[in-house]
Structure 1
Amino acid sequence: MHCDRERSVVDATNSELVTRIGECIMRLNATSLDE
């Protein structure tokens, strides 16, 4: 149970990081297109 709980927390953190990185990439692409 403990391992499963930790794994779910890690998965949630990873998905959050992926979302944030995706947003950063989109912002960088938008700014580069504006230039």
Structure 2
Amino acid sequence: MKTSIQYFVENGIPQLKKVKKILCKIRTALKNM
């Protein structure tokens, strides 16, 4: 198993981009409620 640090170094940047998009969607959804 990979450590979380290794995983983050290898996949962190694209994952962060995905997370940012999801958070933006959640924010807009909450504003629209």
Is TM (by shorter chain) over 0.5?
yes
Identity of aligned residues (%): 4
Please, what TM-score do these two structures have when normalized by structure 1? Answer: 0.65
Moved over 2 A (4+): none
Considering only aligned residues, what root-mean-square deviation do their CA atoms show, in Å?
1.3
Structure with higher helix content: 1
Question: What runs of 5+ residues in structure 2 fail to find an aligned partner?
Answer: 1-8
Gaps spanning 5+ residues in structure 1: where? Answer: 1-8
1:1-35 residue CA offsets vs partner (Å, 9 max, x unmatched): xxxxxxxx71xx11000000000000000000000
The number of residue pairs the alignment matches comes to 25
